Amino acid sequence: MNTNSVVSPAVKIKRKAKKDYIGMQSVLFLLPAWILLLVFVVGPILLTFYFAFTNLTLTGAEAKSTQFIGFQNFLSMFQDPDFRISVLNTIVFLLLSAVIGQQVLGFILAVLMKEKNKTFRRIIGIIVIAGWVTPEIVVAFCWVAFLGDNGTLNIILQHIGLKPVTWLYTFPMVSVVIANIWHGTAFSMLVFQAALDDVPKSVEEAAVMDGASRLQVLSKIVLPMIKGSVVTNMILVTLQTLGVFTLIYAMTGGGPGTSTQTLPIFMYNQAFVNYQLGYGTAISLILLLIGIVASLIYIRSMKVKV
């Protein structure tokens, strides 16, 4: 017999009141967290969207009376040749250092370390992760010291009879791409290591017994099984790379000229060098849009459910 049918209305009311009381307590306990979230996360996001449509500046008459100007910042932006160069530099930097560099190198390192003993994995892991945990500004100075006119690389070239090269001036984009790959590859390696460790060995062994080569096992079996981790890592690495500022600014300052001026550098120059905060905020929304579009492309191309 159903026990709910014999429960009196008074008991039902008491149970409902108790449930409402517990729910109210939960709300009260979470209230400080919600307030902090609204003040420090939701509030700045809403202000960012608002300022992007204003003429907010740090100096001049507009600084005293900020006005809503609609899409004027975005119209000016799309007519600015420096903005188009910055978008192109951002895409090149993203593709070379994140999508290709960190992803591919991180995956290769994870595959090479998969069947090695714990001591070897620990030593290599510490070496690779050391670059990841190093602050960007320190990484930038290390690579400036290595690629500078009187840097370590040019000293090595002179010792073997070759002429020194002004790497940061002649190959600025290549220099910052290599530095970012060195700095961020460890994260991809850790993600892929965790994913590869979850692939059953029996599946790989069965494929090898059926005549599949190591490359075929990797491309036809392993990669499809870990495509969720691949997409997740690609999204995280992309968003992190889109926000790289300190590394590039300390190494090249966005130069020579505009050769390494990515959107974060361009946004900084407009907002804090030219004091056009509204214009700089509008640029940040374009940067956000690029990250969203890239993430959607990854998810659709790999056919991963979210």
> Cβ(149)–Cβ(164) under 8 Å?
yes
In 150-183, which positions are buried (b, 16+ CB within 10 angstroms) versus exposed (e)? ebeebeeeeeeeeeeeebbeeebbebbbbbbbbb
Q: Cα–Cα distance between 56 and 279 in angstroms, integer?
A: 8
Per-residue model confidence as pLDDT tens for the chain (306 residues)? 445 555 667 666 667 666 666 667 677 777 888 888 888 888 888 988 999 999 989 887 777 788 889 899 999 999 999 999 999 999 999 999 998 999 999 999 888 888 777 787 788 778 888 888 899 999 999 999 999 888 999 999 999 989 999 999 999 999 999 999 999 998 999 899 889 888 888 888 888 888 888 888 888 888 888 888 888 899 999 999 999 999 999 999 998 999 999 999 999 999 999 999 999 999 999 998 999 998 888 888 776 555
Helix axes 152-159, 136-147, angle to 10 degrees: 20
Q: What is the 3-state secondary structure (H, E, C) of 153-179?
A: HHHHHHHCCCCCCCHHHHCHHHHHHHH
- pTM of structure: 0.85
Question: What Cα–Cα distance (Å) separates residue 98 from each residue in 85, 249, 253, 284, 303?
Answer: 19, 18, 20, 20, 20
How far from the centroid of its chain's Cα atoms is residue 103's Cα?
Answer: 12
Which of these CATH numbers, 3.30.565.10, 2.60.120.1140, 3.40.50.300, 1.10.3720.10, describes 75-302?
Answer: 1.10.3720.10
* Maximal CA-CA distance, the chain: 97
Question: What Cα–Cα distance (Å) separates residue 225 from each residue in 128, 204, 291, 294, 295?
Answer: 25, 11, 25, 22, 20
The domain limits of the chain are 3-51, 75-302
DSSP per-residue codes, 175-194: HHHHHHHHHHHHHHHHHHHH
DSSP state of 62: G
* Token couple for 301: 């191309």
> Cβ(49)–Cβ(285) under 8 Å?
yes
